[in-house]
Amino acid sequence: MNYELTKIKGIGDKTSVLFNKLGVFDIDDLVHFYPVKYIPYERVISIEEAVPDEQVAICARIISAPRTIRAGRLKITNAVIEDYSGKLKCVWYNSPFIASGIEREKEYVFSGKLVKKGSGAMLEHPIIYKSDEYKALAGKLKPLYRTVKGLNQKIIRKAVLSALEKYTFEEDFLPVDIRERYDLTDNISACHNMHFSDNRQELEKARKRVVFDEFFNFIYSLSILKEKTSSFSEYDIKTEGILELFENKLPFELTEDQKKAVNDIFSDIDNHRVVNRLIQGDVGSGKTIISLILMYAAYKSGYQSIIMVPTEVLANQHFRTCLGIFADFEDKPQICLLTGSMSPAEKTAAHAQIKSGEADIIIGTHALIQTGVEPERAAVVITDEQHRFGVRQREKLTQHQKKPHILVMSATPIPRTLAVILYGDLDISTVVTKPKGRLPVKNAVITAKDRGKAYRTILDQVNAGHQAYIICPMVEESEGLDAENVLDYASKIKSIFPENIVIQFLHGRLPQTEKDNIMCSFARGDINILISTTVVEVGVDVPNATVMMIENAERFGLATLHQLRGRVGRGDDQAYCIFVQTTDSENARQRLKVVGGSNDGFYIASEDLRLRGPGELLGSAQSGDMRFDIADIYTDAEILKLAQDCCDYIASEDFKPDDDEIIRFRKHIEAYRDKRLNNLNI
Ligand code: ADP
Ligand code: MG
């Protein structure tokens, strides 16, 4: 069924490449390339009724032949349209052929945004419809798709429409019985209506089915995983006295929840069960030490442990943390680092250490799985900030061995009821209590005119021996985007602050070793102010950093802002987070009020949901790091529960499918596991 895109009328090689950029490679992809948003096709109005700044549809004739002029690199096409009430100018940029084929003196519908320019108004980039074509659409929902430069909405809509005509759908994998039970529409109308529906109700029904499928496929496949993993452990790890040893050695007192999480893990082990546990805790709740205690226990019983992290910066940090924690243990584990940017010689050495069993604790990034590391005695596999890894990646690390204990650490705030479903293959320990003496971060949302005060706060903190982060959304200046960038900001800051203050910038495009060097010197305290993009978002731990200033804060999602802020307030000193708001839109104001008013990840996630509105049909709206295509774990929580219920129903004796239904169902789940589970990061 995977026809090439070029089989569709209107898609040539060039357009096909543009679709590829959107992840659409064949007709199957295109049919499932759902809109991100829908707006009703506007009622047709006359020119005099049109209001500036609004999306309008006007039925009119072109009275002047479209003319294209060049302004630098820009091609500007102008035309004038007229109806009984007046005339209006239309303008298109870089689309010289837009009006080709348009007959003069014939009526068309021009749909675009009316903008005010000087004294007059003009219609910007209107899409041109034949008027009967538009009349058939008016009142229906117009799908808006994610797009790239060179591909306009009309091309995408046309392509989707003809793809839907060409495509042969598989027979529905959900038996009728199940569809009736959960009030789900069939797969074919769901798919059609996701793109083109006559009204909201129809769209809601389609969406319910698509979201249901997404959740169902995922949790059903997980439930198969779970059967595979919950079993008796073949590793004999002794846990006695380990927690007490750490309590004596650590420079701080473990929180109740940290102890409880360790006890949860140890009680699994003591009962000879394979540990499959999620440690869920807000940023800064101290999850790392929990993993270290487990790895140490494994080491004392003669086993190896692996901890995987999403970034090299984090791998290096964990490496240093480990060295620090075990520094005054009499019986030190051998710690080994393995990351992608190490030289071939270093990698070979690390591999040898791992394979020979010399390495007790192995810390690394994806490089661990990519290079076929095969520790023979690995009894423990841990992933930190795990949502960055796919389920399959987790599996891959462990498939060659006896089932190891698995610990997964995540700061994604989801309510327990949902976590139980989404992490169906894992038990859950939650770390809520913050370390003793930890002061809540003080927040301020400011506007650009108060930057001076923010710099004052930073300077005061630096003079008191602390460090600061300043986060900018961009790396370098970019045409047409009005946002702060790391490079210019760093030179600006250098000219504002006294010379003795060490200022450094950091961003994702620097070579890995340089990034690590910078993070290391920041961690050592050699840098006072670090100007950075969000590369510091995940897990970085420098307790001496007490201020974070976030430029153009409204550009970031609430979950990201909360993660970023989690980089400060990790020690005993008072910490500050300054959000610089640079637009005065109501939505920006409200969203920043939420992060500025609370340090609680759960609360922020739920407000994020409220601000987006539960009925909002924003397809790819994402919360935290849960990546589903259409489904949203917060707004679609009810459907998630239905999907879970359906899994239970399928496992029950009440469910009596016929043979064909079983075959279709199995085939579908297998295809899903092959195609999607690899990529789904959860
Ligand atoms: P996260 O949960 O975000 O991964 P970390 O494990 O990185 O948090 O811990 C954050 C900081 O708190 C680290 O500097 C760590 O050493 C410190 N820490 C962890 N547990 C405690 C505790 N019980 N008391 C004081 N500080 C702690
Ligand atoms: Mg962490």
Closest CA to 572 of 327, 253, 290, 314: 253
Q: How far is CA 495 from CA 450, 469, 486, in A?
A: 18, 17, 14
The predicted structure's pLDDT at residue 370: 67
Q: pTM to 2 decimals?
A: 0.69
Dist. CA 420–CA 597, nearest whole Å: 29
User: Minimal CA–CA distance to 454: which of 488, 487, 489?
Assistant: 489
Query: Cα(288) to centroid of ligand 1, in Å?
Result: 7
What is the Cα–Cα distance from 78 to 66, expressed in whole angstroms?
5
* Other beta carbons within 10 Å of 665: 18
**274-288 as b/e: b if 16+ CB within 10 A:** bbbbbbbbbbbbbbb
Mean predicted confidence (pLDDT) in 19-30: 91
CA distance 106 to 70: 28
**Token pair belonging to 23:** 């992840």
Within 13 A of 370's CA, how many CA atoms are on the CB side? 10
Q: Which of 289, 292, 434, 438 for mutating ligand 1's site (highest number of atoms within 8 Å of CB)?
A: 289
Backbone φ and ψ of 488, nearest 5°: -65, -35
Contact status, residue 407 vs residue 279, Cβ threshold 8 Å: yes
Confirm or reject: Cβ of 570 under 6 Å from ligand 1: yes
- Ligand 1, atom nearest to 431 Cα: 2
At residue 614, the pLDDT reads 39
The DSSP-derived string for 203-267 is: HHHHHHHHHHHHHHHHHHHHHHHHHHH-SB-S-----TTHHHHHHHHSSSPPPHHHHHHHHHHHH
Tell me the three state secondary structure of residue 555: helix
Q: Is the pLDDT confidence value at 215 over 70?
A: yes
- What pLDDT shows up at residue 385? 73
Strands of 503-506's sheet in order across: 442-447, 576-581, 545-550, 467-471, 529-532, 503-506
Q: Which is the closest atom of ligand 1 to the Cα of 289? A: 6
Count the Cβ atoms, other than its own, within 10 Å of residue 67: 12
567 lines ligand 1 (CB under 6 A): no
Is the Cβ atom of 254 under 6 angstroms away from ligand 1? Answer: yes
- Whole-angstrom Cα distance, residue 383 to residue 278? 10
Q: Which atom of ligand 1 is nearest to the CA of 570?
A: 11
The pair of structure tokens assigned to 338 is 């393995």
507: which residues sit within 8 A by CB, 6+ positions away? 475, 486, 532, 533, 535
pLDDT tens-place string over residues 440-496:
999 999 999 999 999 999 999 999 999 999 999 988 877 667 789 999 999 999 999
Binning pLDDT at 50, 70 and 90, where does residue 230 land? Answer: low
**pLDDT score for 390:** 53
542 lines ligand 1 (CB under 6 A): no
State how far the Cα of 419 lies from the Cα of 28, in Å rounded to an integer: 31
pLDDT range class, residue 399, cuts 50, 70, 90? low
- pLDDT exceeds 50 at position 205: yes
Q: Is the CB of 541 under 6 A from ligand 1?
A: yes
Taken in order 326, 327, 328, 333, the sign of the CA dihedral is positive
